[in-house]
Amino acid sequence: MKDLGAPLLFRIMEKRKKKRLREPNPFMGPPLKCAGRLRQIMTRHYYLSRFAKGARPVAWVTSGAPVEILRVFGFYTIYPENHGALCGAQKMGPELCAEAEKKGYHSDLCSYARIDLGHAFSGKTPAGRLPRPDLLFASNNICQTVLYWYKQLSHQWDIPLITFDTPYNFQEIRSGDIHFMVRQFEEMVPELEKISGRKYSHKRFQKIIRIAAETSRTWGQVLAAMKHRPAPMTIFDAFVHLAPVVSLRGLPVALEYYRVLLNELNERIEEGIGAVREEKKRLMWDNIAVWFKLRDWSHLFAERGVNFVAATYTNAWAETIHHLTEESPFESMAKAYSLIILNNNLSHRLKLMEKMIRDYQVDGLVILSLRSCKPYSVGQYDLKRLLMERLGIKSLIIESDMTDFRTYSEEQARTRIEAFLEGLGV
Amino acid sequence: MTYFAGIDVGSLSTEAVIIDEDATMLGYSIQETGADPVRAATEALREALSLVGVSREQLHHVVATGYGRINIPFADRKITEISCHAMGAHHLFPDTGTVIDIGGQDSKVIRINAEGRVLDFTMNDKCAAGTGRFLEVMAGTFGVPVQELGELSLKAQKEIPISSVCTVFAESEVISLIAQNRPREQIIRGLHRAVVSRVWGMAQSVGIEGAVTMSGGVAKNRGIVALFEENLGHSIHIHSEPQIIGALGAALLARGEIHQK
Ligand SMILES: Nc1ncnc2c1ncn2[C@@H]1O[C@H](COP(=O)(O)OP(=O)(O)OP(=O)(O)O)[C@@H](O)[C@H]1O
Ligand code: SF4
Ligand SMILES: [Mg+2]
């Protein structure tokens, strides 16, 4: 798999698509038509990245970082976490994690970090080849792990690391915090000019901000389509269709894609097409996706007439980023990026989940506890209890990792899921 | 007369229970699961049927449960142990609000409603701590039968705490305690405490409500039961044969399915 060119990748994906068409799942509605387009966009992005080196400055970026600022300088952006998810879906998690563990990294470290470091040490990737970055850009609004992980890369390759430090939001965002963050942006600009060799342009920035906000808003509409009964797509689809808003945000291609997707979903709603043929129960998901189980689980639930219609994870890119405004790009960026779910307090999360459960008419909640992602997994038992008390909603906690399936036990997960579904009466 | 059967294919033991249409339990059989779960299930069912003098043809409906449920060819339906232990415990002790099932590889805490339906539950993760398997390994280390472990634990006046919850580390801890000539009963009591604390911790995440019923083979261990009762501050329901509660629940659900129709 080492040096797979895009044409070959395309062909493999076409083959997969055909296979899927040949044996449609009788419990699921027709697959989304634009899935092929999504695959092309993402494959192309990874494929072109290898030619980016030299032609454009390359940055590796954390999923919660304010990437809009980099786009002003024409950075080609790679998202190691997205790459980690790709490795997870291709069932390469354990192999790459083991590469990092060989160098002494502990197996309790986030598996995205282990995969990325494993890739950095071994060069292994299902994406052919990733371009070595000119810049590392990390924000601690998702976790502290990324700082140490990116520091390691910066050290190993001797390349600059820029961090964006977001104060944790305990209650309310304070004006001092905003000032602190805006100052960081101001300090970044000359650095970015130096690294990229391009000048800052406010007009270009405003345009990027506009596109990013619109992309986030459209992504929100895509998710909101699942409020309909039957929901026109499943959260398992959304996990996959999330990639552009995460990693191509601020570029026109992501926005265009979501407009197409939204149209398709609206058509489905009009025609009453559901992602699950017979939607009996609707569930909500908390935490990152289990990438190596997406297909299995979407079938497992669909067989019982159960559809996942909402997730706090996919919602994260629709929750705050649409508040970006071109009138005050820096301030609005500071707000939007410091208020994302993982940098926000638990009572915020509780309120958000309550609202989503109501808005999406959710019958049950599946909470994934990830040893990898401490900031996402902490407090889940309290959330579960409080939601049960307040809304009487039944919930299930599953333990797994999002990519490293060495920590996953099929039998136990299945028993838990089946018992939960029996409890819901399906 | 029509009859119903429930079969619980666990990681260590396989049980079959036969009930009649009035939900009266007529008889049961307990087998070792061994390497061939289907054979164990077949044998358990055959023995239970012959004990009560009922033929296979008179069985109206069979529900399989337990980790081996998936492969049982003669089951009409497969239901998880969670729902089955809940139903079985509710049937035997109608005031049950919480079921604690500790088997060979799994321990579960299940909260149920007044109809025996599951409200919430939790299970151990992929780890033998807090399971029957842990006790078996330790019994092996002491060279005593697992059936006698509970009595030994009850004999201890004091308790030596075992700091590791991991089976492998706890075993080496025990070996070094044995080497130091520490009293066997006190170490065993410490091991029982380790199992109970582990499951107790799990129980906190779903909450304990109503009367508590214990099921599964470990409920036969009086040392474990005593420590749970100490934590709870009151007594626990223990049926004379707690190992069959899952299979009984499966039989009841088999019957319920027909009655609903
Ligand atoms: N007579 C006994 N006295 C004390 N403990 C016992 C006795 N019989 C069985 N056990 C305990 O019960 C455990 C087995 O329990 P059980 O038969 O309920 O397991 P299982 O249902 O096969 O397993 P699982 O439900 O985890 O798949 C043994 O590991 C042992 O610790
Ligand atoms: S710890 Fe969580 S937020 Fe941080 S990189 Fe890993 S998965 Fe992402
Ligand atoms: Mg059992």
**Per-residue pLDDT tens digits for A40-98:** 999 999 988 888 888 899 999 999 999 999 999 999 999 999 999 999 999 999 999 99
Containing domain of residue A374, as a range?
23-424
Model pLDDT, residue A17: 53
Residue A3 lies in a domain: no
Q: What letter would DSSP give residue B58?
A: G
**Position with higher pLDDT, A345 vs A10:** A345
* pLDDT over 80 at A313, yes or no: yes
What's the B241 CA to ligand 3 centre distance in angstroms?
A: 13
* pLDDT over 50 at A109, yes or no: yes
Model pLDDT, residue A6: 47
Specify the pTM: 0.90
**Which of the four pLDDT bands, split at 50, 70 and 90, describes residue B261?**
very low
Give the integer Cα–Cα distance in Å for A246 and A356. 21
Mean residue pLDDT of chain A comes to 93
Residue A14 lies in a domain: no
Residue A134 lies in a domain: yes
Residue A17 lies in a domain: no
**Per-residue pLDDT tens digits for A367-418:** 999 989 999 999 999 999 999 999 999 999 999 999 999 989 888 899 999 9
Nearest CA to B148 out of B157, B158, B139 is that of B139
Q: CB burial class (10 A; 0-12, 13-18, 19+) of residue A189?
A: middle
Give the integer Cα–Cα distance in Å for A401 and A213. 31
Give the integer Cα–Cα distance in Å for B243 and A75. 64
The share of chain B scoring above pLDDT 90, in percent, equals 89
Cα A236 off chain centre by? 12
Cα A258 off chain centre by? 15
* pLDDT over 60 at A21, yes or no: no
* pLDDT over 60 at A10, yes or no: no
Nearest CA to B224 out of B136, B125, B142, B163 is that of B136
Residue A61 lies in a domain: yes
Give the integer Cα–Cα distance in Å for B59 and B6. 10
Question: Looking at B103-145, which runs of residues are DSSP E strands?
Answer: 107-112, 118-123
- Residue of B105, B142, B221, B227 with the most ligand 1 atoms within 8 Å of its CB, for mutation: B221
Which domains occur in chain B, in start order? 1-93+241-261 (3.30.420.40), 96-238 (3.30.420.40)
Mean local confidence (pLDDT), A194-201: 97
Q: Are strands B211-215 and B96-102 parallel, antiparallel or unpaired?
A: parallel
Which ligand gives the minimal distance to the CA of A291?
2
What's the B176 CA to ligand 3 centre distance in angstroms?
A: 32
Query: Residue B83: which of A394, A399, A419 has the nearest Cβ?
Result: A419
- Which tokens sit at A296? 């299995």
Give the integer Cα–Cα distance in Å for A124 and A2. 7
Mean local confidence (pLDDT), A203-225: 98
- Residue of B33, B107, B147, B218 with the most ligand 1 atoms within 8 Å of its CB, for mutation: B218
Instruction: Among A10-24, A109-123, A160-174, B77-91, name the one with the lowest average pLDDT.
Output: A10-24
Give the integer Cα–Cα distance in Å for B151 and A207. 76
The share of chain A scoring above pLDDT 70, in percent, equals 95
Number of separate domains in chain A: 1
What's the A303 CA to ligand 3 centre distance in angstroms?
A: 26
Residue A16 lies in a domain: no
**Which of the four pLDDT bands, split at 50, 70 and 90, describes residue B146?**
very high
The share of chain A scoring above pLDDT 90, in percent, equals 88
Q: What letter would DSSP give residue A347?
A: H
* pLDDT over 70 at A235, yes or no: yes
Q: How far is the alpha carbon of A312 from chain B, nearest alpha carbon, in Å?
A: 22
* pLDDT over 80 at A1, yes or no: no
**Per-residue pLDDT tens digits for B95-107:** 999 999 999 999 9
The share of chain B scoring above pLDDT 70, in percent, equals 98
Q: At B28, which helix (H) or strand (E)? A: strand B25-32
To test the contact with chain B by mutation, choose from A397, A406, A414, A424 the residue with the greatest count of B C-beta atoms within 10 A, namely: A397
Q: How far is the alpha carbon of B54 from chain A, nearest alpha carbon, in Å?
A: 30
* CA-based R_g, chain A, Å: 21
Residue A321 lies in a domain: yes
- Which tokens sit at B57? 């043809």
Residue A7 lies in a domain: no
